[in-house]
Structures are given as structure tokens and as C-alpha cells.
Amino acid sequence: MLSDVTVMVNGRPVTVPSGTTVAIAVVIAGQACRTSVNREPRGPLCGMGICFECRAAVNGQPHCRSCQMLCEPGMEVRTDE
């Protein structure tokens, strides 16, 4: 049985099964991971840490590849910075 983990995405709680990547939590929250230089919304494309499109700020650290990180209780994810 998987337990649940709750993380904050742009200040709102999102609860996912443990072992879920941060990128998926962002998608479940209905958010884009980041905004491009041309102000376009971007989200996970390759899902394996190569394309850098899923970057988001995690616990205050900008440009984290969210597809390569697992959700941890209380994690703060921001896609709006």
C-alpha cells in the first residue's frame, strides 16, 4: 500500500501517492511548470531530465527539474516566479 504525500503547489495543497514526481504533482494541480522567455507556458516533455521544460522552484531553489524529484511531505513548489 502506498501512503499519500501532500505538497504545496503555488500555495495550494496537492495530495499524491508517495513515489510521485514533483512534475506530476504540478500537472495534477493544473499548472504549467514554468513560463518561457516568450511568456509561453511549459511543462514536462521528456520526463527523464533531458529537456529542462519541467523546471520549477522547489523549496526556494529555482530551476529544479521537477520530473527528477519525488514529492516529499511539506514540499513547496512554485511555478509562478
Partner 1 sequence: MNNAAYDGAIVGAGIVGAACADEFARRGMHVVVVDRDFVGSGATAAGMGHIVVMDDSEAQFALTRYSQQLWQELRRELPDDVEYEQCGTVWVAADEEELMQVRRKRDYYGNWGVPTEVLDSGRLKLLEPNLCEAMAGGLLVPEDVVLYPPCAAGFLMKRAQERGAELRIGASVVQIGQGRILLNDGREIRAEIIVNAAGAFAPELTPGIEIVKRKGQLVITDRYPGFLRHQLVELGYLKSAHSVSSDSVAFNVQPRRTGQILIGSSRQYGAENKDVDSSILGRMLRRAQQFMPGLGAMSAVRTWTGFRAATPDKLPLIGPWPGDKSVFLATGHEGLGITTSLGTARILVDQVTGAKTAIPIEPYLPSRAAREHLHA
Q: Which residues bind partner 1 (CB under 8 A)?
A: 37, 55, 61-63
Of the two residues 12 and 63, which places its CB atom closer to partner 1 in the complex? 63
Of the two residues 3 and 61, which places its CB atom closer to partner 1 in the complex? 61
Q: CB of 34 within 8 A of CB of 10?
A: no
Q: Which contiguous run of DSSP H or E holds residue 34?
A: strand 34-35
Min separation Cβ 56 and partner 1, Å: 12
Of the two residues 55 and 78, which places its CB atom closer to partner 1 in the complex? 55
* End-to-end CA separation in angstroms for the chain: 36
